[in-house]
Amino acid sequence: MITNRLQADLRATHDDLLRAFVGPGAAYYLDVAQDFRDGVRYRYHIPAFFLGVLWMLYRKMYAVFVITALVLTLEQQLETWVFPRLEKVPAWNVLLNLITASVIGFLANRWYLHHALDKIAEVQAMNLSDEQTLAELRRRGGTSWLGPVVLLGFIVLALLAGAMAG
């Protein structure tokens, strides 16, 4: 019995399409996809736990990155307004960081497979030949170091600007 959209979409998607889109690390994601086809609803992703938004950028999940960054910014602002004393407690910050990283690790595989399936559907709608479809999936998918490097560069510049200002 199919219990959710992800499971249904994965059952309808050929592994060759996923393999072409995923690029490096395809074996891992094909294994996760099979688990989800078999009814597993969540599978923890350790790299996403440790790398969070950097992992999202590396996997070209720009919309998920933006939404996550906005949610984290909103959470930070609410924490500052509602619990101003707690933000100065190191244990509180560690706890919130662990919760955030855990949620990202818990949902990462689902987010990525939804992302992959959406991109595969977009490419299939283009009605290309099989060879052109695989080439377009490789172009749209895979990984990129550009996003994480740009974000890390931005963070370094922000830290340097903060150090110079005060």
Give the pTM. Answer: 0.90
Torsion from C-alpha of 97, 101, 106, 107, nearest 10 degrees: 110
CA angle 22–23–25, rounded 5-degree value? 80
Q: How many CB atoms lie within 10 A of CB 8?
A: 13
Structure tokens at 2: 């199919």
Residues 75-101 pLDDT 10s: 889 888 888 888 788 898 899 999 999
Residues 112-154 pLDDT 10s: 999 999 999 999 999 999 999 999 999 999 999 999 999 999 9
Structure tokens at 97: 């960081």
CA pair distance 150, 53, nearest whole angstrom:
12
